[in-house]
Amino acid sequence: MLLFKEEVKMGILMKKKDLESTLRRLEADLEDLEETMSFNLSYTSAHIGGAQFRKDEETLEELRQEIDRIRTLLKECETSAAGTVPQVMTEVVEHAGDDGIVYYVERFERTISTTDIDFQVENTLGCEACSQHARNLACPPFSPPFLRHTNGKNRAKVIGYRVSLDQFPQQAVEERYHAAFGEVRGLLVNELLEDRRHGRVVAGAGACLACKECAAVHGESECRNPAMMIYSLESMGVNIVALSEKALDLRLEWSGGSRTAEYVIAIGAVFND
């Protein structure tokens, strides 16, 4: 459910306050480090070996980059608070599957701040029960940490494709979920690969299926088809349930036991500066 505009604006202002506090702290740390480096160069021999000085320079550069990132986020907060709240963009896609059957798939999109994405290393523990764990180079333990993969990108265009299981009457009930996921995941992967070809960082849903059999199955650690490999959001610790609800106002469903889902959704993201 979308928040009312005033509630969203209040949330933006609270986030702006937190960012301003973080910026002040980082700027103070930067000033202290610059003073320390200046003192060491002028009055001590600590810089002679060069190792400590290079380490300080690296820390200095990291602080400057983080300060620039926080300033960018602050500008986005000011723009959002002054303007309208981005709504979820929706459209219906007519998609012909490999079986020649035409499916009507809903596409959802909204751009959010990368800092609004909930990710925790602990979330990857759920991957251990998957049959692809340690057998797919796009899955744990091979997948990179979320922040390393997104590489300082400030915005995430979250994309979702949804299809109803009612459109798969030709499949046995227990197979409909997998058949539907295959269709929406294929649409998502095609879009993500197109974004990657334009130099953008992307992440998808589920294990990578670029190859018929992953090299990891044979104990290899190098991907044979890196241009096609897409890391999943889940493999990097992203809470995909929270992301779907927060960004797209969609609730994920699964089939299992006596429960049958009405819809199947594939979620991905494109990260930009």
Alpha carbon 146 to its chain's center = 7
Name the band, by pLDDT with cuts 50, 70 and 90, for residue 57: confident
Q: What DSSP letter does each residue of 86-122 carry, written as one string?
A: PPPEEEEEEEE-TTS-EEEEEEEEEEEEGGGS-B-GG
Question: What pLDDT shows up at residue 233?
Answer: 94
With 90 as the cut, is the pLDDT of residue 127 above it? no
pLDDT recorded at residue 5 = 44
Digit-coded pLDDT (tens) for 194-219:
999 999 999 998 888 889 899 999 99
The DSSP bridge partners found for residue 85 are none
**∠ Cα 75 267 98 (to 5°):** 140
The whole-number average pLDDT for the span 180-201 is 94
- Helix 5-43 vs helix 51-82: crossing angle, to nearest 10: 160
Confidence of residue 8 (pLDDT cuts 50, 70, 90): very low
Q: Domains of the chain (ranges plus CATH)? A: 5-82 (1.10.287), 89-272 (no CATH)
Q: What percent of the chain has pLDDT over 90?
A: 42
What local confidence, expressed as pLDDT, does residue 2 receive? 38
Q: Which of 50-64, 93-107, 183-197, 204-218 has the lowest mean pLDDT?
A: 50-64
Going by pLDDT thresholds of 50, 70 and 90, the confidence category of residue 3 is very low
- Give yes or no for residue 247 having a pLDDT over 80: yes
Res 163: pLDDT: 94
Mean pLDDT, the chain, as a whole number? 83
Query: What is the predicted pLDDT for the residue at 267?
Result: 96
| Predicted TM-score (pTM) of this structure | 0.68
CA geometry: angle 154, 201, 8, nearest 5 deg: 35
Task: Encode pLDDT of 226-238 as tens digits.
Answer: 999 999 999 999 9
Where is pLDDT greater, at 143 or 17? 143
Write out the two tokens for 145: 């940490």
Report the run of H or E that residue 38 belongs to, with start and end.
Answer: helix 5-43
Question: With 60 as the cut, is the pLDDT of residue 7 above it?
Answer: no
Predicted local confidence at residue 236, as pLDDT? 92
β-strands 102-113, 201-203: how paired? unpaired
Nearest Cα to Cα of residue 108 among 13, 48, 191, 14: 191
In one-letter notation, the amino acid at residue 212 is K
In angstroms, rounded to a whole number, what is the distance separating the alpha carbons of residues 206 and 232? 5
Cβ contact 221:141 at 8 Å: no
